[in-house]
């Protein structure tokens, strides 16, 4: 994994897209070659997984993620100016994301809580910025490998931190185990680990034997983290990505291994699941709560069909639309990503977001990115990213993940793979 990172950083100044640079002044070419956009992207990924602003109080006031992300954007802009190029757009994902962001901004004007929706729209802009940094800097397969390796390494921090909290019992009696920052919610933590499992598994298939053993231990750490969070949606997402990863492998041994892990997971949960709300009784409080938020989200959509209640506004709108006979009326977000999108930004925004995800899922297949089979590594990498994106879809059936970094990073990798494949062709 360290070697993957070194390769990625070493390639930070190369385009890899075969684009003409004739006629560019020498001083601009040197500026472009010295661009730090890609190393800063890798550093940004480490920052969002490790949450240094929360681990080190002195860094909290600085905002490491915002600073590193902003520097990555500035470095990319300097590189593109040096090459006399604009930001690359990949049809249709880039255009769908821009349109979705625009509609989300419009929803602020009719939102039930304009300030909350404005803050959520600014977060979406940040996700879009990182998407475009990924698309414009991940210019070859080695860089894709470096991005994935960085995510896998960074994911170890919340995974090991969560396992530590679980082992020493450092949690509130009425809470499930979690980590800090964006991983402070058990379900969000499990969802993020689900997305990393197929990425780590792909790295293992492309690594030396000793590194496969290390990555196998990393995958087990991710799976253990999902188990100890007792997230039902996370567990179903894990089973889905393991099955899909098995089906997309050419090696029978890998297929049998993945299917064996699925069977072991089912047996383990059946024997050792200690959460009172399991899979046998789906009439428990939390399940009813989620169903109520989904029904309420549908009511929001039909009451405000064009722009919804505002991006991020389903939390504030829930008490207004909740059924009168429900036993809870506190602010709750819609626990289904698709319904969340439609309820918060209406039919227009929800359709754009759905088209964005569907387009990325359609493209994230080996035979569509590399139909001629000329770049086996790129094809297998896109397959793994596609499986991870399916993990987002499955987990999104049970949680509100519209405003999270990871789907936009994964879609950015799919768009970058499109560019690499076109340049190679």
Predicted pLDDT of residue 398: 92
User: d(Cα 338, Cα 236) in Å, to the nearest integer?
Assistant: 17
Domain boundaries, the chain: 2-283+329-424
Q: How do residues 149-170 score in pLDDT, each as one tens digit?
A: 999 999 999 999 999 998 887 6
Q: 391 near 197, Cβ under 8 Å?
A: yes
Q: What is the mean pLDDT of the chain?
A: 85
The mean-pLDDT minimum among 7-11, 208-212, 223-227, 284-288 falls in: 7-11
- Nearest to 415, CA basis, from 41, 6, 96, 36: 96
% residues pLDDT > 90 (the chain): 60
Taking 90 as the threshold, does the pLDDT of residue 322 lie above it? no
How does residue 5 score in pLDDT terms, banded at 50, 70 and 90? very low
**pLDDT, tens digit (0-9, with 9 covering 90-100), for 70-81:** 999 999 998 888
């Amino acid at each position: 994994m360290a070697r993957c990172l070194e390769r990625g950083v070493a390639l930070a100044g190369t385009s890899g897209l075969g684009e003409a640079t004739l006629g560019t002044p020498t001083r601009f070419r040197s500026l472009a070659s010295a661009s730090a956009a890609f190393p800063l992207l890798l550093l940004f990924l480490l920052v969002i997984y490790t949450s240094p602003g929360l681990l080190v109080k002195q860094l909290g006031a600085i905002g490491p993620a915002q600073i590193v992300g902003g520097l990555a954007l500035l470095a990319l802009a300097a590189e593109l100016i040096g090459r006399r190029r604009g930001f690359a757009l990949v049809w249709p994902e880039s255009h769908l994301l821009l349109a979705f962001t625009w509609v989300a901004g419009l929803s602020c004007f009719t939102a039930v809580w304009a300030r909350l929706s404005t803050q959520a729209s600014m977060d979406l802009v940040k996700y879009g910025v990182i998407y475009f940094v990924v698309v414009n800097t991940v210019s070859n397969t080695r860089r894709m490998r470096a991005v994935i390796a960085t995510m896998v390494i960074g994911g170890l921090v919340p995974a090991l931190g969560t396992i530590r909290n679980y082992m020493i019992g450092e949690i509130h009696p009425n809470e499930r185990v979690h980590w800090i920052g964006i991983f402070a919610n058990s379900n969000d933590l499990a969802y993020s680990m689900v997305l990393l499992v197929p990425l780590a598994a792909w790295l293992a298939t492309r690594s030396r034997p000793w590194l496969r053993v290390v990555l196998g231990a990393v995958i087990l750490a991710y799976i253990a983290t999902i188990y100890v969070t007792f997230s039902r949606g996370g567990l179903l997402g894990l089973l889905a990505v393991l099955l899909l990863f098995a089906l997309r492998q050419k090696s029978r041994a890998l297929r049998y291994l993945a299917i064996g892990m699925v069977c072991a997971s089912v047996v383990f949960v059946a024997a050792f699941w200690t959460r009172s709300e399991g899979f046998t009784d789906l009439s428990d409080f939390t399940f009813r709560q989620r169903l109520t938020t989904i029904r309420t989200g549908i009511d929001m959509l039909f009451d405000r069909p064009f722009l919804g209640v505002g991006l991020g506004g389903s939390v504030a709108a829930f008490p207004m639309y909740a059924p009168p006979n429900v036993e809870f009326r506190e602010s709750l977000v819609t626990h289904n990503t698709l319904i969340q999108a439609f309820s918060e930004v209406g039919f227009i925004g929800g359709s754009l977001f759905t088209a964005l995800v569907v387009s990325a899922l359609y493209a994230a297949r080996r035979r569509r990115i590399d139909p001629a089979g000329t770049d086996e590594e790129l094809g297998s990498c896109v397959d793994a990213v596609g499986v991870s994106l399916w993990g987002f879809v499955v987990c999104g059936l049970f949680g509100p993940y519209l405003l999270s970094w990871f789907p936009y990073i994964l879609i950015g990798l799919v768009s970058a793979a499109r560019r690499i494949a076109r340049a190679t062709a």
